[in-house]
Amino acid sequence: MIYLSTFHFPSPEQEEDYFFAFTPKNARTCYTTKYPFGLFRFRGLPEDFEFDDITVFCGNNGSGKSTILNVIAEKLSLKRSSPFNRSDFFDDYAELCDYQLDKELSLDSCVITSDDVFDRVLDIRRINNGVDRKREDLLREWIENNSEEADTTLHGLDDYKRWKKVVDARNRKVSQSQYLRSHLMRNVQERSNGESSLSLFVDAIADDALYLLDEPENSLSPSNQLELKYFIEDSVRNHGCQFIISTHSPFLLSLKGAKIYDIDSEPVETKRWTELQCVKVYQEFFKENEDKFKK
C-alpha cells in the first residue's frame, strides 16, 4: 500500500534563495551550524524521491540517511517517541520540502528509531531489576517464616499481617518456589536485549499505516534481523503497510521488492542490493575466508 508517493527536498537554488532573503534569523552570526541546510546541497539528490511499498536509504555513517527520515517525519508530522538531532533551522528546511500522498495517513503512522529500541530495553531492564529485588525480599521472608525461631504469637492487631504469614507458612507447608510464584509476577520480559528489541517493532507496527524505521538493525542479531525482514515483508503483503527504512544491514537491504537509494553515490541513485558497497564488503570478507568454512 502506497501512502507517501513522492518527497521533494530543497534544491541548491532554493537553499541559496533562503539565505539571500533577509530574515532576523539569517542576520545572526551566533550559529555554529545551519543544519540541515548544506548537507545535501551538492550531493545530487533526485528532484523527487519516489517511494514503493518498501523504500530503503542506504549509506555509511554520516551519510545523512537518518536526517532524510527525520525531515520526512517532521514534514508529515508523524508520531515519534524519542527526540532527534535538530537545529534552529530544521523547521525552515522542512518548510521548503514538499510531498505527495496517494492515501491519507492513519493515526498509527510513526517513526521508530534506534533510540526507541534502546529506551525499550532500558525500561524492561529497570522493571526486571525491581522484580529481582522483590524476589530477594520474598525469599528472605519465606526463610524467616519457616524457621523454627519464627514467632507464632500474635502481638495485637498491628502484628496481624506478620503473624498470618508465619501461621500460613507453618500450616500450608508452601514450598519456596510456590511462595515466590504466588507473591511475585514473572519478569516482564525474560528475553535477551535482541529479542526485546524485535518485540518493539512487532508491538508497534499495526495494519494500514506508514512506518519510518531508522537503522532498526541496531541491537538485533543476524537471525533477528532476518525475523524483522520477514515481518516487514508480511506487513506489506498482508496488512497494508508502507515502510521507509534507513539501514546498512545486508539482511534488510535484501527486503523483497524494496527500492533502494544509495545515499553514498553522487548523484544519489537507485541500485540493486547486491550492487551496494556495504554488501560487497561482506561478500569479499566471506570470500577471503571461504576456506575456513570447509571441514
In this prediction, residue 221 has a pLDDT band, given cuts at 50, 70 and 90, of confident
CA 8 – CA 24 distance, rounded (Å) = 26
Question: Quick one: pLDDT at residue 198?
Answer: 81
CA 4 – CA 55 distance, rounded (Å) = 11
Instruction: Please count the CA atoms within 13 angstroms of the CA of 242 that sit on its side-chain side.
Output: 22
CA 226 – CA 224 distance, rounded (Å) = 5
Question: Quick one: pLDDT at residue 88?
Answer: 82
pLDDT one-digit tens code per residue, 224-245: 899 999 999 999 999 999 999 9
**Whose CA is closest to 177, among 130, 139, 132, 131?**
139
Question: Quick one: pLDDT at residue 150?
Answer: 55
Task: State yes or no: pLDDT of 108 exceeds 60.
Answer: yes
pLDDT one-digit tens code per residue, 145-181: 555 555 556 566 666 666 566 556 555 555 545 555 5
Q: Which single residue is written with the C-alpha cell 537471525? A: 223
Proportion of the chain above pLDDT 70, given as a percent:
69
CA 119 – CA 32 distance, rounded (Å) = 30
Residue 278 has which C-alpha cell?
556495504
* N-term to C-term CA, the chain: 47
* All domains of the chain in start order, with CATH: 4-115+206-293 (3.40.50), 117-183 (no CATH)
Amino acid at position 29, single letter: T
Residue 233 phi/psi, 5-degree rounding, is: -60, -40
In this prediction, residue 16 has a pLDDT band, given cuts at 50, 70 and 90, of confident
More confident residue, 169 or 17: 17
Q: Parallel, antiparallel, or unpaired for β 210-214 and 110-113?
A: parallel
Residue 47 has which C-alpha cell?
528532484
Proportion of the chain above pLDDT 90, given as a percent:
44
**Angle (CA) 240 3 267, round 5°:** 120
In this prediction, residue 193 has a pLDDT band, given cuts at 50, 70 and 90, of very low
Question: Quick one: pLDDT at residue 98?
Answer: 96
CA 232 – CA 243 distance, rounded (Å) = 8
pTM of this structure = 0.74
